[in-house]
Amino acid sequence: SIPLSFFAGIGGASKAGVLVKGSNYLETLSQAKIVVFDKTGTLTQGVFEVNAIHHNEMDKRKLVEYAALAESASSHPISKSLQKAYGMEIDRSRVTDIQELSGNGVIATVDGHQVAAGNDKLMNRLGVQSIPCHSVGTIIHMAVDGKYAGHIVISDIVKPHSKEAIQALKSAGVRKTVMLTGDAQKVADSVASALGLDEVYSELLPADKVEKVEEMIQIKSEKEKLTFVGDGINDAPVLRRADIGIAMGAMGSDAAIEAADVILMDDDPMQISKAIKISRKCLGIVY
């Protein structure tokens, strides 16, 4: 039978901003030994600033305008940053045939021109040769009517408590911390080393993230539980696959909140070790 303390635990946890969808998840959470994070919006702020614009013949402003218009239907943090860089109201009647390719970017028709904005994978799909960029940052390559038009370099910063949060997990007995991201290797490696993460995997499509988590589940022992922490639309499948899925921030996407077992009201990564500690306390586990 389920001890009464389980229910008291769920109530207590919710007061701390940790919403647990069922008492069984408290037990799984208490055994978390591997914590896998999504990068954007989870360990980083998910607010990108435009650092540089490199263009071919196209005017710089026009490049940003086309990017913002093509991205106008996307809710990705990259899209929000490009909208902000453009700074003007979007006239949606100029944009048609919008396609968002998760982990790649977007393709849309803007003023009758085909505009693609995304990473190297997207350019490869379109058979467009991109010009290599050596800046550190997330590089948004652009193609207009199948021709390379330039790129916009954007960058995101780590959240103020991310490093402390990783250390707190270690102190709470978490054996391994991992980051999975669709972003470029250079960006991923610099975040991972700044935060002291044990492992990092980059340039992953949403399905690759699920596969990575599956691999990690297969090689660990049954009593060590793996938790995945994410907030994005693309994170739902991997949140479901983990032993325990944690969605961050009540601002997270509806799909992520629905797929998760635990929801953190706050987007402070310190909440993760706090949630683990609360679960142990409810179960009377002294760590």
User: Are the C-beta atoms of 245 and 261 separated by less than 8 Å?
Assistant: yes
For residue 145, indicate whether it is catalytic: no
Nearer to ligand ADP, 13 or 144 (CB): 144
Instruction: Please report how close the Cβ of residue 50 comes to ligand ADP at its closest, in angstroms.
Output: 13
User: Are the C-beta atoms of 122 and 116 separated by less than 8 Å?
Assistant: yes
How far lies 160's CA from each of 3, 82, 104, 157, 225, in Å?
38, 23, 28, 9, 27
Instruction: Please report how close the Cβ of residue 237 comes to Mg ion at its closest, in angstroms.
Output: 12
Task: Give residues 201-220 in contact with ligand ADP (rule: CB under 6 A).
Answer: none
Task: Give residues 13-52 in contact with ligand ADP (rule: CB under 6 A).
Answer: 38-40
Task: Give residues 174-233 in contact with Mg ion (rule: CB under 5 A).
Answer: 232
Q: Does 234 bind ligand ADP (CB under 6 A)?
A: yes
Beta-sheet strand order (sheet of 225-230): 18-20, 262-264, 244-248, 225-230, 32-38, 176-180, 199-201
Q: Pick the binder of ligand ADP from 20, 36, 63, 117 (CB under 6 A).
A: 117
Task: Give residues 29-58 in contact with Mg ion (rule: CB under 5 A).
Answer: 38, 40
Closest residue to ligand ADP in the complex (CB): 182
- How many residues can be counted in the chain? 287
Q: Does 81 bind ligand ADP (CB under 6 A)?
A: no
How far lies 196's CA from each of 22, 102, 169, 206, in Å?
32, 28, 12, 24
Q: In whole angstroms, what is the distance from residue 53 CA to residue 68 CA?
A: 14
Q: Pick the binder of ligand ADP from 63, 110, 140, 153 (CB under 6 A).
A: 140
Instruction: Please report how close the Cβ of residue 85 comes to Mg ion at its closest, in angstroms.
Output: 20
Instruction: Please report how close the Cβ of residue 41 comes to Mg ion at its closest, in angstroms.
Output: 6
Q: In whole angstroms, what is the distance from residue 106 CA to residue 36 CA?
A: 27
User: Are the C-beta atoms of 35 and 178 separated by less than 8 Å?
Assistant: yes
Q: Which stretch binds ligand ADP (CB under 6 A): 27-35, 68-76, 124-132, 169-177?
A: 68-76
> What residues act catalytically?
38
